[in-house]
Structures are given as structure tokens and as C-alpha cells.
Amino acid sequence: MTESSFNEVCVLEPEDQVAPATAIVIFGATGDLTHRKIIPAFYHLQKHGRLADGCAIVGFARRPKTDQEFREELRASVEEFSHSKPVDKEMLDRLLSHVYYHQADLADPVGYRQLADRLKTLPERPAFQNRYLFYMATAPSYFETIAENLARADLAYDENAAGISRVIVEKPFGEDLKSAQHLNQTLQRFFPEQNIYRIDHYLGKETVQNLLYFRFGNSIYEPLWNRRYIDNVQITVAEKVGVEDRGGYYDATGAARDMLQNHLFQLLTLIAMEPPASLEAEAIRDEKVKVLKSIPLSSEEALIQKSVRAQYGEGMIDGRKVRPYRRESRVAPDSMTETFVALRLEVDNWRWAGVPFYLRTGKAMRQQFSEINIVFNRPPSVLFAAVCGVRLHRNSLRIRIQPNEGIHLNFNGKVPGKSVIQRVDMDFRYREDFQDYLPEAYERLMVDALVGESTLFTRKDEVEQAWRLVDGLRSAWMGQNIKELPSYGAGSLGPEEANQLLQREGRGWLPIYDY
């Protein structure tokens, strides 16, 4: 077998896979998610030839409007929120010509029967037949209602009927373990598990998808990916915005349920998982679940010691004054809801025993970024002990998820002309090294759902294992007899207590770079 040429590519799946003709029904069609993410994603799929001609999109919502009014609203949304400008008017017109609006109340069974009748009369019907994708872009309280009404209208999955019926469910999937289990049981009454797509848009990001290829497609790092060489792992998802107009939702949710339970645990599983038996969806998801099962729940006292929760206070972000969380609209003046959480945990298996994983996420922070830092053990300092001592920097691998996606290796190098060791960087940036179009997360996820590829969606047991951990943490917090949470200034990187979480063990958060 000859060595492949330097520029030869290895194709793991069909390139530019075209989604088959499908009727896509969006519940909550007048909402923010539809306008900002879902429809712009379909526009880009149309533009890049990823949608079959027989696809139809039906918006389901309560407000009265005509097909044409709905199309014009979506046109304005694509022109505003498309990440690729200028918008191709011809391609947008082509997409909107297959968009329809269905007025009905989410709780009214009659509206679903009328939807079923209308789907049979659409001009695209000969192409999509009985192939449906239902997108629940609504508040979670409606998920069960929508599933039940779809079944009553004979639109849910039927093993004896020709066709395919799939459902996408937005986060949050439940508000604790008990509610997530109930929702899983409800959905599985009407759809088989393989047809339920629990969406987490982080899994659609190119850098997140690349974690599997980076880890298991290279011989450089995988031998080092264990407790012998790695000192700690740091995962950060920082948001610049505060709660804005979502105070009512956020005050009943908090950072642990809003971000830790899904985004951060997803990144953790991809970093910590064992090599899967294959690249098939179930093999990959099996390994992710094993990681979560390997995280033990400490005692409540230990969880309090290993975690930090805080609220943002007054501060400045980009020259704009930000008011304290407790003074935000629809937030209780004595709220104990966390807008920041940091957590130390361990994966109790052979590969990772003794390696701490530090997770943190917060709102109203100095920068908007998501990244994973792999911090390696220090080399023996025999040669440099007299001069450097502990100042000999640890090597680290920084995986930037957003913005400016890339992978950056920090290592020690000699400064030219001096007997000085300095930390230097070796950088890879997606937008510089790959000139191809870089799709948004929702674009990849929409195509995968349409073709039945579930690797980038969350499985039932994975959701429940994540809730097991968050429930344990929140239970420990609820047992504390405190009336105030630590505060951090808006525009900072979180409270001092989060720094102390690492400093107690002789570690620190890696500095943040603006690549």
C-alpha cells in the first residue's frame, strides 16, 4: 500500500448531500428562532443546492396572516440575519415560493387535522408524499401537546404506513431529570427514538464536529490524551449579553440548566470519550453516554466546595452600562438564580482518573467565546530549574469553538539571541486554512435531520444522564442557607471565587486570547 499524496483528501461521507423532498412543519413559526436561525439556514441550503425541489416549508402559528405576508416577513429576516451577504434574491425567491403559513392554536386538535388536509393539497405533495419533519420551535411546555395532536391527526410515526415522520425538539429538554424522563416517554409513544432529534446547536458547529476527527484521525495527540500527560481540562462558554428580554424565562432556569446541562456537557463528552467502534451515530453516542455515567455525584457538601454560582452586577460592556441582574426586567429583586456557574468534576475511568475538568459559563462577561483548553503536565525541569522553576509554562492545546474557530498549540521556545524561554503559539484557523464555505450550525443539523443522520443530536439516555448531574448540583445549592450569591461585574470574566476554585489546587484559568 503506497503512502497517500500530501494533498489527497479522505472522504468519509457523501459531499454536498442533498436532503430529500420533505414537508417541513415549523411550530412556533412567528418566533425569534424561526426568523434568526431556521429560515436563514434553509435559505443557505437552497443556495448551495442541498434541498431537493420537492421540499415544502409550512409555518404553524396562532397569529392570522396570509402565505404572502409570512413570506415577506421571512424575506426581511433572511436579509437581516443571513451570515452571507449580499443575499441571492433569485435563490431566496425560489425558497419562499415553497413556504406556506397555517394559522392554528398549538392546543387545538382541529388545527392539526386541518394541517393534515392542507399537506395533502400542496403542489409539492407528489414529491414529498408522506415524508415529514416537524420542528418544535416553541416553549417546552408545548412539546407534549404538539406530539399528541400530531398523532391524533395521523401525522406522527406509523410503522404500518408508508413514509417517514421525524421530529426536532429544541432545548431545554425538560427542566430536571423527572420532567426529561416524562417528556422522553411521551415522545416515544408517538415517535421511535431514532426519529426523535433533540437539537443542541453546539454540535452543529464545525469545530465541535472536528473534535472526533482531530482526536482519532491523528497519531500526534491521541497517545497523550490521558491522565499520564494531561494535568487538567478547562471548558468555557462565555456570553457577552445579559438576560435582555428573557428575564422571566431565565430567572426560572439559571446558568446550570440553561448551559451546563447541554452545551458544556456536550463538549465534555466529545473531549473525554473513548474511540467509538465506528463512525455510526449509535457507536459515537454510546461512548458519550459512558462518559456521563463515569462522572460520580459527590456528596452535597463536596459539590458546594467544587462549584461556584454567582450573579452579574453593575458594569460596562463595549462602553454600554449594564445594570445588575436583580434589576433586570422580570427578574425577582431577591432572586437567587445564578447567571454564572463554575464546576470541578472528574471522569472516574481508567483514562481520566485524577484529572480535574473545570467547566464555567456565564452571562454579561467581557468576551463572547467558547473554547476548550487541554493543559498538559509540566516537563521535568531539571535542565531549567535554576532559571525557570515553576515559571516553565505548561504546554496547552486551545480549541476555539467560537468566534474565529481554530486550534492553537502553546509550547515553550527559545527567544532568538537570548537565553530566555518564552511561550509561543502554533495556530490553525478555519477561515484562513479552509477557503470553502463554512456553514452555520443549523444548516448542518437541518440536513442531518432530513436525511436521518442522528450523530449530532442528543439521545434519550444522554439527556437523562446530564440531568442527573445537574439535579445533584442544584440539590446541593438548595440546601445552602444563604440569601446572597457572589457577584461579578458585568464585563469581567466572572467572580473571584471561580479563580479560587483552581487556585486552591495550584492551578489557574488559562488567559483568554482574542484571535
Among the ranges given (15-19, 269-273, 404-408), the one the predictor scored with the smallest mean pLDDT: 15-19
Which of these, 458, 457, 440, lies nearest to 50 by C-alpha position?
Answer: 440
Q: Check residue 491 and give left, alpha or beta (phi > 0: left; psi -120 to 50: alpha).
A: left
Q: Band the pLDDT of 12: cuts 50, 70, 90.
A: very low
Report the alpha-carbon distance of residue 241 to residue 361 in Å, rounded.
12
Q: Is the pLDDT of residue 166 over 60?
A: yes
Per-residue pLDDT band at 422 (split at 50, 70, 90): confident
Helical (H) or strand (E) element with 152 = helix 143-152
Q: Note the pLDDT of residue 159.
A: 65
Q: In the structure, what pLDDT confidence band is assigned to residue 85 with cuts at 50, 70 and 90?
A: confident
DSSP 224: G
Mean per-residue pLDDT, 403-413: 86
- For the residues 264-281, what does the mean pLDDT come to? 93
Mean pLDDT of 5-9: 52
Domains in the chain: boundaries = 23-170, 203-503
Q: Which CATH superfamily is domain 203-503 in?
A: Dihydrodipicolinate Reductase; domain 2 (3.30.360.10)
Q: Ranked by mean pLDDT, which of 84-88, 359-363, 365-369 comes out on top?
A: 359-363
User: What Cα–Cα distance (Å) separates residue 513 from each residue in 137, 167, 363, 410?
Assistant: 35, 39, 18, 12
Q: What strand order describes the sheet that includes 369-376? A: 421-429, 406-414, 396-402, 369-376, 230-238, 356-362, 340-346, 307-313, 487-489
DSSP 414-428: EPTTSS-EEEEEEEE
Q: pLDDT tens digit string along 177-227? A: 999 999 999 999 999 999 999 998 878 877 777 888 888 888 888 899 999
C-alpha cell at position 232: 487538567
263 among known catalytic residues: yes
User: Which of 134, 64, 144, 72 shows the shortest CA–CA distance to 105?
Assistant: 64
pLDDT at residue number 512 = 84
Which CATH architecture describes the domain 23-170?
Answer: 3-Layer(aba) Sandwich (3.40)
Residue 207: what pLDDT? 73
Q: What is the CA radius of gyration of the chain?
A: 24
Alpha-carbon gap, residue 438 to 191, rounded angstroms: 33
- What is the rounded distance in angstroms from the CA atom of residue 372 to the CA atom of residue 266? 12
Kindly name the residue from 182, 263, 393, 408 that is annotated as catalytic.
Answer: 263
Q: Which pLDDT band, with edges at 50, 70 and 90, does 378 fall under?
A: confident
Q: Show the cell assigned to 308.
A: 461556584
The pLDDT confidence band at residue 236, using thresholds 50, 70 and 90, is very high
Q: Are 448 and 454 in contact (CB under 8 A)?
A: yes
The yes-or-no verdict on residue 13 having pLDDT over 60 is: no
Instruction: Give the pLDDT confidence score for residue 405 in this predicted structure.
Output: 84
pLDDT of residue 7: 53
Residue 389 has pLDDT above 70, yes or no: no
| Residue 387 confidence (pLDDT) | 62
Q: In terms of Cα–Cα distance, which of 241, 235, 255 is closest to 308?
A: 255
Residue 11 has pLDDT above 50, yes or no: no
Q: pLDDT (tens digit, 9 = 90+) per residue, 298-343?
A: 999 999 999 999 999 999 999 999 999 999 999 999 999 999 999 9
pLDDT for 162: 67
CA–CA separation, 448 vs 457, rounded Å? 9
pLDDT digits (tens, 9 = 90+) for 424-473: 888 888 777 665 667 788 998 999 999 999 988 999 999 999 999 999 99
The C-alpha cell that represents 344 in the structure block: 470541578
Residue 2: pLDDT over 90: no
- The Cα 210–Cα 215 span in angstroms is 8
- pLDDT for residue 249: 87
